Structure 1
């Protein structure tokens, strides 16, 4: 369940830290005080869309976090464990900047908004102000019935089988209808693969050929220059070696004292002669090893020309030809086995179709059985909400064509008055009746939910009097088995709550802020009196509020 909600610089809230408990919590306040802010902040933590308008005016960012106790939520713990996130606790955090950007975290680890939404569906259910409109759509009817039936996993498997069936059918159709195109493609691939087979270009061959071509093309020039360099070093008419020898010969007859002073110079000249002699030997070895091979050069250049020609033909770079060869070969292998693939696909289509039919049959039987129980459960709630003469039915009809979720279409039908045939909810004229019908359906759906935390956002609109007190009793009973938070404008509902959270708007100089506080018993009496009688509270109104609160709590105790 939701245990903490922290809000920083969101809407007109600067700082708010709420500690929340199990049971039923009523959330009240004057119109415009900001009751929707609490649910808006929670919604952002659960992955709803964010924009720059979420940030309090003058602030750089809004920072929101919601902490959940997930000890009783195995689905949430499993979701976290699958992603290698800590699963002992659950902290969702969302930051929205004034520029409209947003970031999200789950248990301190960066997450996507989609992650928040997926995990949020396993943590809490929100029944919003637009539940009435959603209940007018038959897609909602099917989802609620499936939730009530408790076969979500079976419906998910059914949907997965349907999608695989349709995808395989589409592939088979494409291969069957495009037979001529496939044959033409096969012929082209055969020609291209044979051409590349003949070329047989190795992975590193291109680089080797280019290096060899460069060496062969410049071999004659390189040989000539190497020989000339050797002659410069070792020739009888002024070569480097001859000159070094002459220099040493001139220094050799000098007196001993002078030779001692020039010993270092004489050593350097001697080393230079040795180095030059070694260089001359290397130049001769290089010249002897260098061969002029015009025929090899012609072959290498021809080979490179063929490689570049085929590369241009396929619109790829020359070094990409080996990879292209592999791709075309694999595609050809796939098409060569086309007849076998067609038979395999036909068999797979039939297998998936039969599997879907079997799964759909089981889901359909469960739906029809659950429809009767769901109708009776809603009927009981309607009687409790002073609509005992109404008749509620769940119609399960067989569709003409298969659908991902099965062959059934589901509609909720209602007859508000005796003697009238049941009609779709969208035909119900009275807003008050629709509100009570909607609440009855949501209460039944919530009782069969695997998620113990429920939020009701003004679902009691259009209800008043004794019926409002009954609505409060319904919500309190739901809260006794988990956690229920309800935004309400009815004192009869708020009086039934285990806890009461009050929201008010305060003006400070040039800014307006929202404050939220958990009320004690005296505060609850004052707030109920305000809801009963307006701003100016009389002793009579306060006494009425005290009596209402005492009666609600004592009645709940019994």
Structure 2
């Protein structure tokens, strides 16, 4: 409930602060006194866009602040969902700065208008004869039926299932799009992958292959050169080995005479040993090397395959090709694995869908049971409000299309007169009828659900006499279960209030300003007497006002 409303520099209001209490608060005042200004200020608190033209003095800051007691509203989760700090005594403030910029705060934390708008339906519900969109909306009508049906727990279960179904459906759509896109590349990626796999890259050593190819491709030249080397080393008289051995023999005769000569002998001996090893290895290599056209062909094929793959993928090593092969394998496997993922999600979706359908069917059945009760209560409530022949028809149709509140479609048909056909509520009900229907619905709803503060803005327009008394009775009964504010011109309704606020204008220093005043008992008698008989209050009007108040 709202406990305090403070308004500064807004429209005709310079600076006011008013306290609100539980029960029924009546707001009265002459036409143009500024009652609509209070509604405008409340609208700012509930997230309406600010307008600099509504500021009294554009050179100063405009501030509207509301204090709300929400301890019994169970709004902790709502605050958390909207990233707001929860306080049992919550303060909402709107500021319009001189430049026209608007700011909003919840418990002194800056917030976006969308966050205020998310809170609004749980704090204050404003109704007027000209604003009846809520009553004709299917979601609101279903909310009323669900309140009577006691569907709160079922709706929570269904919403969890609905969100899960929605999430799975979104994942499925994303996977199917991914598959569609990946399938177009699958054949090409598979071809590239198979091509690299067939090359058996992990068993290839490019350097060894290239050396083997050069050896086989030049076998005769190598054999001839090695034979020549062997000849140069081992020729009987002119070979390097024979010459070196002769030199060693000569040095051997004199090595004992000189340390230097002995060193020469040692070094030459080492050279001879090395030359002998080289001669043996050259001879062995020459024997091993022989022309092998078939092996040469195989090695050349492997190398050409390798060179083509490197050129195709613009790389220069086998390692890089192996990395590309692994990436292609991942892509191919991912694409092929999508079918399995899709199949699993389809199974999950089917299970969740069946569960949600069962819950929706339970909701439907309980709604069917509640509709006759709601129909009877509405018609009984409207009877004394000047609509004795008002009749309703609720057409509840189950489908398999999932909505946020089940699978039902609802159409509310209405007729106010005997002999006239039923028609959609928004088409056949007049403004006066719609306001009374709205009051009846809220009155019924208040019996089954914790409602926010309701503000009725002159919904009693066009009503008088006994109907006004009955309307006042309904508001009074409602106010025992909730906070209710009623802006009214009817003395019958004004007299039912627990509290009474008068809105009036006053001229001071050639400036008109709107003021609010909380009336005491004597002041209420005068105010209601003026509502009955005009400004010139008669004794009869005073007596009548006292009678109404009693």
The normalised TM-score by structure 2 is 0.68
Q: Report the CA distance shift for 1:538/1:553 in structure 2 as closer, same or farther (over 3 A).
A: closer
Task: Give, in whole Å, the separation in 2 of the partners of 1:86 and 1:10.
Answer: 28
Equivalent in the alignment of 2:35: 35
- Maintained 8 Å contact 2:464/2:490: yes
- Maintained 8 Å contact 1:439/1:460: no
Q: Report the CA distance shift for 1:440/1:512 in structure 2 as closer, same or farther (over 3 A).
A: same
- Maintained 8 Å contact 1:55/1:97: no
Task: Give, in whole Å, the separation in 1 of the partners of 2:161 and 2:184.
Answer: 34
Task: Give, in whole Å, the separation in 2 of the partners of 1:545 and 1:373.
Answer: 43
C-alpha displacement at 1:416, in angstroms? 2.4
- Maintained 8 Å contact 2:124/2:454: yes
Report whether the alignment pairs 1:551 with 2:547: yes
Report whether the alignment pairs 1:506 with 2:506: yes
- Maintained 8 Å contact 1:142/1:411: no
Report whether the alignment pairs 1:375 with 2:371: no
Task: Give, in whole Å, the separation in 1 of the partners of 2:3 and 2:483.
Answer: 10
| CA offsets 1:94-132 (integer angstroms, 9 cap, x no match) | 212243322222222222322323333333333344443
Report whether the alignment pairs 1:539 with 2:538: yes
Task: Give, in whole Å, the separation in 1 of the partners of 2:59 and 2:326.
Answer: 58
Equivalent in the alignment of 2:259: none
Equivalent in the alignment of 2:63: 63
- Maintained 8 Å contact 2:179/2:338: no
2:132 aligned counterpart, secondary structure: helix
Report whether the alignment pairs 1:76 with 2:75: yes
- Maintained 8 Å contact 1:131/1:438: no
CA-atom RMSD in angstroms: 3.6
2:32 aligned counterpart, secondary structure: coil
C-alpha displacement at 1:347, in angstroms? 0.9
| CA offsets 1:396-429 (integer angstroms, 9 cap, x no match) | 2334744443232223333323444543323436
Higher mean alpha-carbon deviation, 20-29 vs 137-146, is at: 137-146
Equivalent in the alignment of 1:366: 366
- Maintained 8 Å contact 1:435/1:463: no
Gaps spanning 5+ residues in structure 1: where?
Answer: 196-305, 312-323
Q: Report the CA distance shift for 1:346/1:87 in structure 2 as closer, same or farther (over 3 A).
A: same
Task: Give, in whole Å, the separation in 1 of the partners of 2:426 and 2:350.
Answer: 40
C-alpha displacement at 1:484, in angstroms? 0.9
- Maintained 8 Å contact 1:3/1:21: yes
- Maintained 8 Å contact 1:77/1:88: no
2:454 aligned counterpart, secondary structure: strand
- Maintained 8 Å contact 2:529/2:544: no
Task: Give, in whole Å, the separation in 1 of the partners of 2:399 and 2:49.
Answer: 35
Q: Report the CA distance shift for 1:58/1:177 in structure 2 as closer, same or farther (over 3 A).
A: closer
Alignment of 1:318-467 (within 5 A): 334-399=334-399, 401-428=401-428, 430-451=430-451, 453-467=453-467
Q: Report the CA distance shift for 1:352/1:35 in structure 2 as closer, same or farther (over 3 A).
A: same
Q: Report the CA distance shift for 1:108/1:435 in structure 2 as closer, same or farther (over 3 A).
A: closer
Equivalent in the alignment of 1:254: none
Task: Give, in whole Å, the separation in 1 of the partners of 2:463 and 2:454.
Answer: 20
C-alpha displacement at 1:67, in angstroms? 0.9
The normalised TM-score by structure 1 is 0.67
Gaps spanning 5+ residues in structure 2: where?
Answer: 196-309, 316-323
C-alpha displacement at 1:5, in angstroms? 0.8
C-alpha displacement at 1:491, in angstroms? 1.6
- Maintained 8 Å contact 2:530/2:537: no
Report whether the alignment pairs 1:103 with 2:103: yes
2:502 aligned counterpart, secondary structure: strand
C-alpha displacement at 1:473, in angstroms? 1.4
C-alpha displacement at 1:189, in angstroms? 6.3
Task: Give, in whole Å, the separation in 1 of the partners of 2:163 and 2:454.
Answer: 33
Q: Report the CA distance shift for 1:135/1:103 in structure 2 as closer, same or farther (over 3 A).
A: same
Number of equivalenced pairs: 428
Equivalent in the alignment of 1:22: 22
C-alpha displacement at 1:176, in angstroms? 5.2
C-alpha displacement at 1:485, in angstroms? 0.5
Q: Report the CA distance shift for 1:446/1:62 in structure 2 as closer, same or farther (over 3 A).
A: farther
Q: Report the CA distance shift for 1:413/1:388 in structure 2 as closer, same or farther (over 3 A).
A: same
Task: Give, in whole Å, the separation in 1 of the partners of 2:167 and 2:530.
Answer: 61
Task: Give, in whole Å, the separation in 1 of the partners of 2:325 and 2:75.
Answer: 49
| CA offsets 1:110-168 (integer angstroms, 9 cap, x no match) | 22322323333333333344443442343432233234434356435535544553564
Q: Report the CA distance shift for 1:57/1:521 in structure 2 as closer, same or farther (over 3 A).
A: same
- Maintained 8 Å contact 1:455/1:486: yes
| CA offsets 1:275-305 (integer angstroms, 9 cap, x no match) | xxxxxxxxxxxxxxxxxxxxxxxxxxxxxxx
Alignment of 1:197-346 (within 5 A): 334-346=334-346
C-alpha displacement at 1:459, in angstroms? 1.7
Task: Give, in whole Å, the separation in 2 of the partners of 1:452 and 1:539.
Answer: 39
Higher mean alpha-carbon deviation, 424-433 vs 517-526, is at: 424-433
C-alpha displacement at 1:518, in angstroms? 0.8
Q: Report the CA distance shift for 1:112/1:174 in structure 2 as closer, same or farther (over 3 A).
A: closer
1:337 aligned counterpart, secondary structure: helix
C-alpha displacement at 1:515, in angstroms? 0.7
- Maintained 8 Å contact 2:149/2:366: yes
Alignment of 1:106-125 (within 5 A): 106-125=106-125
- Maintained 8 Å contact 1:164/1:352: yes
